[in-house]
Structure 1
Amino acid sequence: MTTKILSAAVVLSTVCAATAASAEELWDPHLRGVDEGLAAGALPPPGVYFINNSYFLPDGYVGNSKSTSTKLQAYVDVPILAWVPGITVLGADYGIAISQPFDYTNLNVGHEEVGNHWGTFNTALVPAILSWTLPYDFHVKTQFGIFFNDGSSTYRAGNTPAAGGGAAMANWTCEPGGGVSWLHDGWNVSVQMLYDTSTADNRSAHPRCGATPCKYQSGDQLAFDYTITKTVHKWIVGVGAYENNQLQQDKVRGVSTPSSATMSFAIGPVLGYNFGSLETMATFNHQTVNHNDSAGDTFNFRVIVPLS
């Protein structure tokens, strides 16, 4: 039951806010590693679930080396409401979820603070999640998510904060994805894949645009979350990892920007506990690979509460 309930969190946390990026116009659509520890291919039993992810980047930096003078601290809170109504579509269990994340960023260049503010991220909706139960304890899931262009502040001209780059993306994003899980005798071996493609921001105030707002197109991204855990009584222990790959260069005024495609990889421990009325899980990621992106070790604390 623990593994099945934990699969509730993967319903929507797969498509919520992320750490600020240097190559994307501002933010990655997928919050890197947020689904580690979860059953990526399964849906939980029918019911309504509340999930909250508290995601920290305490000592981040922007660039390929930690010696850079551009430092970033970030906190992202991802509250999620998920519903599994107990119906089947094409032989699969069906689910739906929605979230309104918010975030805090503190950006420093040298010894100067250039951004320190809270804001709401793009509303995320997953109108369709389908999960099939297969022989030999395998589960396969597919889903489709949408980010609305409704963040409190962005890089779009006229919607930027007094300092910093904004709390959200100035575009719409579509995110199809899938996951596979092997759930056997307390083991959870899962892989999740998400593909993010975004519309252009036609009036971007990104520094690459110069003094005049311009059309900024972020490149598509492919993200993976990996999980190997074992449930022992009420404890869940294991390891997780994430991988994020930008497949195309960003484009400014229709021209590709050199060295703008990002890539990152991180790995770390997973620890969870079932309290009965709620379940918790903590993950830590140590980043080992970073190219052209914001970087740093991250920590996520997740709470899952069945509401019905």
Structure 2
Amino acid sequence: MAAGASLLLSGVGVHAAENGTGFYLLGSKGPGAGFTPPPGVYFENDVYIYSGSLGGGKSLPTGGRVAVGVDGNAVFELPTVLWILPEDVAGGRFGLSATVPVGWMKTSADLTLKGPRGHAADGSVTDTVFTVGDPVVSALLGWESGNFHWQTGVMVNVPIGDYQDGEISNVAFHHWGADVSTSLTWLDPSIGLDLSGTVGMTFNAENPATDYRTGNEFHFEWAAVQHFNEQFDAGLVGYYYQQVTGDSGQGATLGDFEGRSLAIGATVGWTFKVGELPLSTRLKYFHEFDTKNRASGDAVLLTLSMPLSITKPVSAQ
């Protein structure tokens, strides 16, 4: 279940473009990314921890300003409810999901520049916020055949979170966005090997508070995991991010500002029962490198998932 539900997760990590962030959470997909759980209602809670730095006196557009020499730390909680319908849809299983992020973020800058051409300057700035971000609603459709499991999904960022106008730390994005992705998992139960991959594209509308529109963002995530028994697995994970079109709008004073990043890391998973309730946990760690126009750092993602109810499937007529 954890693998299927995590396919829907979004978040607010430090990823690219305006504020150095994108609403799609890199690393949220992983082992079992193409797997869709049986019909029912599921709950998943993710805790995402990130620490990174732009480094080298580089600039970042944020809060309608340009920040120089940026360091950032963030901790987010991402509770998600997933509903897999009992009816077959196009020969597969259809699901709906909603996530409401809550988080803490601290951003420090050596210098911030104001105005359309960055004429006015402030000294060092530190901004800390703890609040509710933009909710994300999602839909998926998944199929399986033998050892192959595949899934396609779309998620939409709804800009109604607590946006702090003019601040350099923000949990909410204050703009509409959509991400479309496809995932494939090959899982051989006889040897316990899981090979998974996800490709996707994020599309962003303009932030009306800053007149800034982030360009389209491509992401690819992968996982190679060995299941040692029914309870424990471990393996490698990673992702590649590339902004494929430039930023635009009057607020895009740094031009295209196309970002790039690679990351590699490790994961362990553990499944157990509390009474009759099955619980799935997963820990993922990522180290970023080869970054451009975004922070480079380390991320930890801790996932706990469980079924709330299981529904008997309804066969197609």
In 2, Cα distance between equivalents of 1:54 and 1:249 = 31
Cα deviation code 1:34-92 (max 9, x no counterpart): 222x31112012221111111111x31125789x8421111121110001122211111
Matches within 5 A, 1:45-84: 45-57=38-50, 59-63=51-55, 69-84=69-84
* Alpha-carbon distance change, 22 to 165 in structure 1, aligned in 2, over 3 angstroms: farther
Asked if residue 116 in structure 1 is aligned to residue 128 in structure 2, the reply is: yes
Asked if residue 27 in structure 1 is aligned to residue 21 in structure 2, the reply is: yes
Q: Greater CA radius of gyration, 1 or 2?
A: 2
Q: Answer yes or no: is the 8 Å Cα contact 1:10–1:39 preserved in 2.
A: no
Q: Answer yes or no: is the 8 Å Cα contact 2:175–2:208 preserved in 1.
A: no
In 2, Cα distance between equivalents of 1:11 and 1:46 = 16
In 2, Cα distance between equivalents of 1:49 and 1:22 = 30
Residue aligning to 1:197: 203
Residue aligning to 1:278: 279
1:7, distance to aligned residue in structure 2 (A): 2.3
Residue aligning to 1:298: 299
In 2, Cα distance between equivalents of 1:259 and 1:11 = 29
Structure 2 SS opposite 1:293: coil
AA aligned opposite 2:163 = S
Q: Answer yes or no: is the 8 Å Cα contact 1:21–1:62 preserved in 2.
A: no
- How many residues are matched? 281
Asked if residue 226 in structure 1 is aligned to residue 236 in structure 2, the reply is: no
In 2, Cα distance between equivalents of 1:105 and 1:169 = 13
In 2, Cα distance between equivalents of 1:26 and 1:171 = 15
Structure 1 SS opposite 2:18: coil
Q: TM-score, normalised by structure 1?
A: 0.84
* Alpha-carbon distance change, 26 to 102 in structure 1, aligned in 2, over 3 angstroms: farther
Structure 2 SS opposite 1:17: coil
Q: Answer yes or no: is the 8 Å Cα contact 2:56–2:69 preserved in 1.
A: no
Cα RMSD, aligned residues only:
2.2
Cα deviation code 1:113-142 (max 9, x no counterpart): 52111121211001x31111124x111211
* Alpha-carbon distance change, 231 to 21 in structure 1, aligned in 2, over 3 angstroms: closer
1:18, distance to aligned residue in structure 2 (A): 2.4
AA aligned opposite 1:231 = H
AA aligned opposite 2:219 = A
Structure 2 SS opposite 1:45: coil
Residue aligning to 1:17: 11
* Alpha-carbon distance change, 65 to 139 in structure 1, aligned in 2, over 3 angstroms: farther
AA aligned opposite 1:301 = L
Cα deviation code 1:212-270 (max 9, x no counterpart): xxx21110101121111111121111110011111111113297844610011111111
Asked if residue 146 in structure 1 is aligned to residue 156 in structure 2, the reply is: yes
Q: Answer yes or no: is the 8 Å Cα contact 1:130–1:143 preserved in 2.
A: yes
Structure 2 SS opposite 1:299: strand
Cα deviation code 1:191-223 (max 9, x no counterpart): 01221101112331xxxxxxxxxx211101011
Which runs of 5 or more structure 1 residues have no equivalent in the other structure?
205-214
AA aligned opposite 1:133 = E
Q: Answer yes or no: is the 8 Å Cα contact 1:27–1:168 preserved in 2.
A: no
Whose strand proportion is higher, 1 or 2? 2
1:283, distance to aligned residue in structure 2 (A): 0.7
AA aligned opposite 1:275 = F
Q: Answer yes or no: is the 8 Å Cα contact 1:121–1:167 preserved in 2.
A: yes
The sequence identity of aligned pairs, in percent, is 22
* Alpha-carbon distance change, 164 to 78 in structure 1, aligned in 2, over 3 angstroms: same
In 1, Cα distance between equivalents of 2:98 and 2:128 = 27
Q: Answer yes or no: is the 8 Å Cα contact 2:108–2:126 preserved in 1.
A: yes
Residue aligning to 2:184: 180
Q: Answer yes or no: is the 8 Å Cα contact 1:282–1:302 preserved in 2.
A: yes
Cα deviation code 1:119-167 (max 9, x no counterpart): 21211001x31111124x111211121110112014xxxx44xx43422
